[in-house]
Each structure stands twice: as C-alpha cells, then as structure tokens.
A and B are shown apart, each in its own frame.
Chain A
C-alpha cells in the first residue's frame, strides 16, 4: 500500500526514532512502513492519522493488486 508517512514525517522534522516513540512502535516498523514493505495495523494507522491531523485515506492509498 502506498503511503505519505515519510513525506509527512520529514515535513514535521521528526526522525524515524522520534515518530516510532510517539506511536509506540519500533523504528524498524516505521522504516518498513515508509518503504511500503509493511502495512501498519488499524490502531497504528489511526494514531498516525491523529498525529498528522489528516484522514487515513490521505495517508494511505489502497491499490488493489
């Protein structure tokens, strides 16, 4: 799934480590999500949505395979 996490994180001048700490996940998780190799859980997606103050559909773009 495509996402804008890296772009939004950089905009807010956050490191992967800082974002991971805010969301309560590991830095590796953030790295894998940003590289679109791993899709986060609904809980993490909602936390991201609240943090970046954007609806989930503006953070993640679902593309059927």
Chain B
C-alpha cells in the first residue's frame, strides 16, 4: 500500500508543476506583449494559446488528484468547493454591482475574485478538516 502514497505524491507533484507553469505562462501572456515582444500579434496569440492549453492540463491534473482521494477526502473537498462556489457567485456579483453603481472607486478586477476564490477554498478546507478531527 506504500504505492498509494507514492501515487498520491506523484499526482500532487504533477499538479504543482502544471500550476506553476500555468502561472508562468499567464505572466508571460500578460506582460510579454508590452515588455518583451512589443505587441507582436502572432507571439501574443501564441502565448495566450500556450497558457490556455497549460490551464486545461492543470485542470486535468487536478481531476486526477481528486480521483485519487478517498471518500472522506472527497467529502471535505466537495463541501469546501460548494461553499467556495456559492460565496464566489454571491460576493462576485455584489462586487460587480458595487462597480456598476459606482459605489466603489476604480473598476472591479477579476484578480480580486480569483484571490477570493483561492482563499475561501483554502480556509473552508482547513475548517472542514478541523471539524472532522
């Protein structure tokens, strides 16, 4: 059964690699056009395509890891995901409304929502783990 731990480690490493490369390609696609290749259309399209493909591979690696979870771990993560999805929709739309009604200065940035999703998922997973200990 040591193979189970090894397999888990392998899947975590695979997900980490795809996540880091996704972040790197996202940074490249964001800053490259302005700072590296001077808005060259082909290079920009290429960078965005690479980032998209990388993102799909990252999702696939995440699904592989999820499929390796046992029933308890799945429960923990599914509950955390459900809470994260609900809060993201509600908070995201409230944030958007604050922007469209000009109640906040500046534009609503998608990056804030992405950060909110990450933090909410992390906190709800930790809370769920504590709950069942």
Contacts and interface: CB of A to CB of B under 8 A. Distances in A.
Interface of A: 21-22, 24-26, 28-29, 31-33, 35, 37-38, 40-41, 44
Interface stretch (B66-74, B88-96, B98-106, B109-117): B66-74
A44 B1 CA distance: 15
Nearest to B1: A21
B1 A26 contact: no
A38 B72 contact: yes
B71 A28 contact: no
Contact of A38 (B2, B4, B132): B132
Interface of B: 1-2, 4, 70-73, 75, 129, 131-133
Contacts of B72: 25-26, 28-29, 32-33, 38, 40
Contacts of A44: 70-71
A24 B2 CA distance: 10
Contacts of A32: 72, 132-133
A65 to B, nearest CB: 18
A31 B4 contact: no
B70 A25 contact: yes
A22 to B, nearest CB: 7
B2 to A, nearest CB: 8
Contact of B71 (A22, A37, A41): A41
A28 to B, nearest CB: 6
Given A32-B132, A32-B133, A38-B132, A24 B4 contact: yes
